[in-house]
Amino acid sequence: MAPSKLNSNDDASVSSSQPESGFFNSISLLNSEKAVQELIQQNPVMGSDDHLREFSEALRTVAKALRRSAEGKAAAQAEAAEWKRKFELESKRNLNLECKGLSLREPHSDGKKTETIACQSTDRIEQCCGNNGICSHEVLRDGATNSDFKMVNDKYTRKASFKLSWCCKGEQSDQHQHDIVSFEKGNITTAERSSKQISLKWESDPQTVLILTKPNSTSVKLMCSEMVRWLKHRRMNIYVEPRVQTELLTESTDFNYVHSWKDDSEITLLHKKVDLVVTLGGDGTVLWAASMFKGPVPPVVPFSLGSLGFMTRFYSETYKETLDAILKGPINITLRHRLICHVIRDAAKTEYETEEPILVLNEVTIDRGISSYLTYLECYCDNSFLTSVQGDGLILSTTSGSTAYSLAAGGSMVHPQVPGILFTPICPHSLSFRPLIMPEHVTIRVQVPFNSRSHAWASFDGKGRKELGPGDALVISMAPWPVPTACLIDSTTDFFRSIHEGLHWNLRKAQSFDGPRDT
């Protein structure tokens, strides 16, 4: 009969309710311990029955374990109840502040502040966060600060956990999720980003090279034909533009092994055929190479045959050694971000009814054209009104284009691997209109208002001008396909060399020494 009594007590223990904190009820553990003690008393151990003696010792061990477990569970249950009470108090406080349109800021014991973004309802939480929201619905605490956060069992309360991830703006958005933020034990850290030096290592030998040249240059033609012969000796497949193919065949019929394309549909497939792109010219040739690829771009090796050469760091005199090292690998590359631009006409029914998107490597410029009136533009950042532009125009630039038109208009020079969008006005009729640098994930909308006196004109990397009438808008965001360009040394050294050699940045005569001299 004793075993049946133990089973009945166990069933009662298992069926007992659990508290909302998630801990097992300690009262049921105490009842189980009493059942074991009664079982031991009701079953005297006989010296001749070894199995009964072993069973009795096992029951005593179980009784001790149940007693320790009951004590631990009781303490944990008390702590959980205290945590629940604090959470309910803070939830009510957050809800009251949200109704007033405020964000809760509470001081820590060390003087720091933590901002909590809370949503007013469950629907809003799902809309704000979902799977990709950047939102913490729990309070981050370092220690006891007021009467609502007292010490529990002589221990300070711990930080609440939360999740960080990047927002995505729908399936049709060009923004993508980037898992670069992590949270562990109350500390936020960032993982490695694209701003760090990137090395490219070939997993298989490159076989196909596309050569793009600056037109109307005799020195470039000679360099191109010489490089084509050398690459053919290396058993490489060579693609050139139709114009260059005609020039090579006119020079000699021996160049019949050089490939080209006939229409634009074949250009869209180049990134699947070409392993490497070689440009012979200046920065304009690199811009032309980038504009040919509407999606992924193969690594670009730019040789300097132009003037400034912010992007063309390789010297044409040593092209053999350079290409040998690049084809062998590994090589350092710079990921040059591009902007994707959509023109939305006033007659469009939805914001997704746009013209063909345009990718730019340097900048998109919106100016007044030949009109004598000031350009009047309304600018929005992620659907929030940013400012109105009244002046000659506006430049939206990548960090690679920070040393181009944006620099001439007063914008900052930015390292090309810094992911961001430069917002630079052109001759604004305002003394306080300073340039801005936006983060990479924002979407900027520039619209010509209906009360504008004239139209505006948009140009993309200095070409392809489009007229923007009242009601028309231009939407700009970061494109997901950067342009990887090979580095002579590394991205930082190449950048500093370009601004020193191309712009003579911060060069002046050294000051004379007029202080005391040692005798």
pLDDT tens-digit map of 97-127: 555 554 444 444 444 443 433 334 444 444 4
Which of 97-111, 134-148, 165-179, 318-332 has maximum average pLDDT?
318-332
Cα Rg, the chain, nearest whole Å: 35
* Residue 295 confidence (pLDDT) above 50: yes
Return the H-helix or E-strand segment holding 219: helix 218-233
**Residues 421 and 362: beta-carbon distance below 8 Å:** no
Mean pLDDT of 238-253: 93
Q: Which of these, 149, 135, 46, 37, lies nearest to 93 by C-alpha position?
A: 149
Strand partners, 55: none
**What is the reported pLDDT for 106?**
44
Q: Which of these, 491, 337, 360, lies nearest to 420 by C-alpha position?
A: 337
Residue 203, SS3 per DSSP: coil
Two tokens at 180?
């670069």
Length of the chain equals: 519
Two tokens at 82?
């205290």
- Separation between Cα atoms, residue 348 and residue 128, nearest integer Å: 28
Which residues lie below 8 Å from residue 142, measured CB to CB, with a gap of 6+? 108, 109, 110, 112, 156, 159, 186
Walk me through the domains of the chain, giving residue ranges and CATH numbers: 208-329 (3.40.50.10330), 339-481 (2.60.200.30)
CB atoms within 10 A of CB 508: 6
Question: Catalytic amino acids?
Answer: 283
Task: Fill in the amino acid letter for 492.
Answer: T
Q: Which residues of 275-294 are buried (b: 16+ CB within 10 A; e: fewer)?
A: bbbbbbbbbbbbbbbbbbbb
Q: Which of these, 32, 42, 112, lies nearest to 66 by C-alpha position?
A: 32
- Separation between Cα atoms, residue 400 and residue 335, nearest integer Å: 9
Task: Fill in the amino acid letter for 499.
Answer: I
- Separation between Cα atoms, residue 71 and residue 29, nearest integer Å: 9
392-416 pLDDT, tens digit per residue, is: 999 999 999 999 999 999 999 999 9
- Separation between Cα atoms, residue 355 and residue 365, nearest integer Å: 17
pLDDT level of residue 129 (50, 70, 90 thresholds): very low
- Separation between Cα atoms, residue 326 and residue 189, nearest integer Å: 35
Per DSSP (E only), the strands in 174-281 are 181-184, 187-190, 198-200, 208-213, 237-240, 276-281
- Separation between Cα atoms, residue 347 and residue 329, nearest integer Å: 51
482-506 pLDDT, tens digit per residue, is: 999 999 999 999 999 999 988 999 9
**Least confident window among 17-26, 81-90, 91-100:** 17-26
The more confident residue out of 186 and 281 is: 281
* Residue 508 confidence (pLDDT) above 80: yes
**Residues 396 and 367: beta-carbon distance below 8 Å:** no
CA atoms in the 13 A half-sphere facing the CB of 44? 3
- Separation between Cα atoms, residue 450 and residue 92, nearest integer Å: 46
Q: What is the 3-state secondary structure (H, E, C) of 440-501?
A: CCCCEEEECCCCCCCCEEEEECCEEEEEECCCCEEEEEECCCCEEEECCCCHHHHHHHHHHH
- Separation between Cα atoms, residue 272 and residue 275, nearest integer Å: 8
**Residues 106 and 112: beta-carbon distance below 8 Å:** no
What separation in angstroms does the CA of 295 have from each of 128, 265, 338, 459? 30, 13, 11, 20
* Residue 149 confidence (pLDDT) above 50: no
Which of 51-55, 68-72, 281-285 has maximum average pLDDT?
281-285
Indicate whether this model's pTM tops 0.75. no
- Separation between Cα atoms, residue 420 and residue 422, nearest integer Å: 7
**What is the reported pLDDT for 125?**
41
Mean pLDDT of 459-480: 94
Mean pLDDT of 256-266: 90
Per DSSP (E only), the strands in 283-361 are 300-304, 314-315, 331-336, 339-344, 358-360
- What is the residue whose two structure tokens read 């997704």? 352
Report the share of the chain in percent with pLDDT over 90: 49
- Pair type for strands 300-304 and 208-213: unpaired
187-211 pLDDT, tens digit per residue, is: 666 555 544 688 889 999 999 999 9
Which residues lie below 8 Å from residue 136, measured CB to CB, with a gap of 6+? 116, 117, 160, 162, 163, 164
Helix, strand, coil share (%) of the chain residues, nearest 5: 35, 25, 45
